[in-house]
Amino acid sequence: MELQDLILQLLHCIPFWIRSVQRFIMHGLPEPLLNWCIFEFFLNIILETKSIVIDFAKSSGEEICKMIEGGIRGLDVGILVNNAGMAYPYVMYFHEVELEVMESLVKVNLDAATWVTRAVLPGMLEKKKGAIINIGSATSLFSYPLGAVYAATKAYLAMFSRCVGLEYRQQGIDIQCQIPLFVATKMVKGLKASPMLVPSPEMYSKASIRWIGYEHICVPYWMHSVQWFIMHGLPDALLDWCVFHYFLNVGKKRLKKLMMMAGGCMKQAKLFDVTV
Tell me which of 56-60, 72-76, 182-186, 187-191 is least confident.
187-191
Rounded to an integer, the average pLDDT of 81-105 is 88
> Of 53-62, 110-119, 175-184, 220-229, which has the strongest mean pLDDT?
110-119
Rounded Cα gap, residues 219 and 181, in angstroms:
8
Rounded to the nearest integer, the mean pLDDT of the chain is 77
Q: Percent of the chain, pLDDT > 70?
A: 71
- Distance of CA 39 to CAs 12, 26, 50, 55, 186, Å? 12, 14, 11, 21, 21
User: The pTM is what?
Assistant: 0.75
**What is the per-residue pLDDT for 16?**
38
- Distance of CA 169 to CAs 113, 142, 215, 236, Å? 18, 27, 11, 33
Strands (E), 2-106: 23-27, 77-82
Rounded Cα gap, residues 110 and 64, in angstroms:
13
End-to-end CA distance of the chain: 31
Q: In the beta sheet, which residues pair with residue 25? A: 80
Q: Give the strand order in the sheet containing 130-135.
A: 23-27, 77-82, 130-135, 173-178, 217-218
**Does 3.40.50.720 match the CATH number of domain 4-233?**
yes
Q: Is the pLDDT at 92 greater than 80, yes or no?
A: yes
Domain ranges (residues) in the chain: 4-233, 234-276
Sequential DSSP letters for 10-32: HHHHGGGT-TT-SEEEEE---HH
Please report which confidence band the pLDDT of residue 48 belongs to, taking 50, 70 and 90 as the band edges.
low
- Tell me which amino acid residue 267 is: K
**What is the per-residue pLDDT for 17?**
40
Rounded Cα gap, residues 143 and 243, in angstroms:
7
Residues known to be catalytic: 150
